[in-house]
A = this chain, B = another copy of it.
Amino acid sequence: MGIHHYFKSLSDMEKLYRCPGKFLYNEHTVAAHSFKVTKIAQFLGTVEEYHGKKLNWKSLYEKALNHDYPEIFTGDIKTPVKYASSELNRLFSEVEEEMTHKFVTQEFPAAFQDIYLERFKEGKDGTLEGNILSVADKIDLLYESFGEIQKGNPEPIFLEIYQEALTTIVKFNEMDCVKFFLDSVLPDMLAEKFIPQSELSKITQSLIADGD
């Protein structure tokens, strides 16, 4: 039994890289992804609350913070594999749950086991907080894939990921936070522009002229 094993396992999330098997300009760890999803969920929750929704903040933070923790037991199984067979997907989830259950009962003091079994459960459960997690998870994925496309990554998979992530976000477009994202965030992301090398010459000449 040992919380030391739990604390140590957090470092394993710094060694799990997302999107294994693909060239990326900018690698992301599961630890950093979990951090960003929690920060994004915090913002989305703030928007929901502003529009009068009653939010369980404790639940939202627990869902966002822990949503990928079971990956330290199972590793990264590729999405197409998971969905290749609904039977496989069901079995995989079962095994993930069993391994998480075993870890919690082995390493946590009895007094905290139920709390942690609850925390490590699938968080995307149709509640407001679960829906915010679903959206936040996909917003970070959208940013990751946009970053690769913007830097010129020629792998077509990043456009597929971008589309898949956006499609999921749009499914929740009745939510105020999704409306805010689609109206006030996404356009700014798409409006980002490159500095074409040709412009550099003009800028340079103007700066040199200014100095004279």
Interface range, A side: 35 or more
B115–A46 touching, CB < 8 Å: yes
Chain A 178-202 residues near chain B, CB threshold 8 A: 180, 182, 184-186, 188-190, 192-195, 197, 200-201
A78–B81 touching, CB < 8 Å: no
A143–B8 touching, CB < 8 Å: yes
Chain A 149-176 residues near chain B, CB threshold 8 A: 149-154, 156, 158-159, 162-163, 166-167, 170-171, 173
Residue of A22, A75, A212 most packed against chain B (CB within 10 A): A75
Known: A38-B61, A58-B58, A149-B195. 18 other contacts (CB 8 A): A2-B185, A4-B188, A16-B21, A20-B20, A31-B31, A42-B61, A46-B115, A57-B61, A58-B61, A61-B65, A74-B77, A81-B92, A85-B95, A88-B92, A154-B194, A170-B211, A170-B212, A171-B211
Q: Which residues from B are CB-within-8-Å of A17?
A: 17, 20
Residue of A46, A109, A152, A156 most packed against chain B (CB within 10 A): A152
Closest Cβ of chain B to A44, distance in Å, is 10
Does any Cβ of B come within 8 Å of A28's Cβ?
yes
Residue of B nearest to A84 (CB): B95
Q: Out of B47, B75, B98, name the residue touching A77 (CB < 8 Å).
A: B75
| Assembly stoichiometry (copies) | 6
Closest Cβ of chain B to A88, distance in Å, is 4
Does any Cβ of B come within 8 Å of A141's Cβ?
no
Q: Out of B3, B143, B207, name the residue touching A163 (CB < 8 Å).
A: B207
Residue of A16, A23, A163, A210 most packed against chain B (CB within 10 A): A23
Q: Which residues from B are CB-within-8-Å of A119?
A: 42
A sample of 23 inter-chain contacts (CB < 8 A) reads A3-B180, A4-B188, A5-B188, A7-B139, A7-B185, A10-B36, A10-B40, A11-B23, A11-B36, A16-B21, A23-B26, A31-B35, A58-B61, A73-B78, A77-B81, A81-B92, A85-B95, A87-B91, A152-B152, A154-B194, A167-B210, A190-B200, A190-B201
